[in-house]
Amino acid sequence: GNHLIHACRRNLKLTCLMLNNEVYGMTGGQASPTTSETRYTTTSPEGSIEPVFDACKLAEAAGAGFVGREVTLQMPSLKKLIKQGLQFEGFSFLEVISDCTEIFGRKNQLGTSPEMILNQKSSMRPESYGNIVDEPFRPNFMKTGVLAQNERPEYGATYRKHVARQLKSGGKS
């Protein structure tokens, strides 16, 4: 988490793709910070009681220049979002909502992989929020698309200018 926060804050020329299937799927389907409340996992057999965490809002609050979210079923939109993130001159954080049918889907009776993805699609809204404080996070109403875009200098460019000034002045500020 801390490396992500500092990469966002510095606005490094980097694109981070976060695949969110609501669980730690490769290790048995344990609850994760992105597990929706009331969802069943191997570590929350009676349903998750913790509030879900919105990683996009964290990235925006930490200073990421470009923040977006899309669901895997929306391939044209997802492809466009990834392209925008890669072309952005600064830090891009992209959350990709995916399915985990093997453990998570079965435990929550969410159906087959296509059924689960269609269910996820129905809870997504293709619009953006203007500011992190404008929109409270509601796990059953997740917005997709470009969520934040803040043009500011990329860290490497700022650093190179700083070094050039120092060299020109002989190291005197």
pLDDT in tens, 49-78: 888 888 999 999 999 999 999 988 788 999
Q: Encoding tokens for residue 75?
A: 């391939």
Q: Is 168 exposed, middle or buried (0-12, 13-18, 19+ CB in 10 A)?
A: exposed
Find where tokens 């909502």 sit. Answer: 97
Beta strands in 26-118 (DSSP E): 30-31, 66-71, 91-97
> Which one, of 66, 131, 59, lies nearest residue 92 by Cα?
66
Contacts 24+ apart (CB under 8 A), 50-53: 52/137, 52/139
Domain extents in the chain: 2-168
- Report pLDDT for 80: 97
Share of the chain above pLDDT 90, in %: 44
Asked if pLDDT for residue 129 goes beyond 50, the answer is no
87-91, 115-119, 125-129, 143-147: least confident range: 125-129
Residue 16 CA, chain-centre distance (Å), reads 8
- Report pLDDT for 101: 59
The residue type found at 84 is Q
The Cα–Cα gap between 165 and 127 comes to 42
Predicted TM-score (pTM) of the model is 0.77
Number of H helices, E strands in the chain: 6, 7
pLDDT tens digits for range 143-171: 889 999 999 999 999 999 999 999 998 87
The Cα–Cα gap between 93 and 135 comes to 18
**Who's near 114: CB < 8 A, 6+ residues apart?**
none
Q: Encoding tokens for residue 111?
A: 């159906």
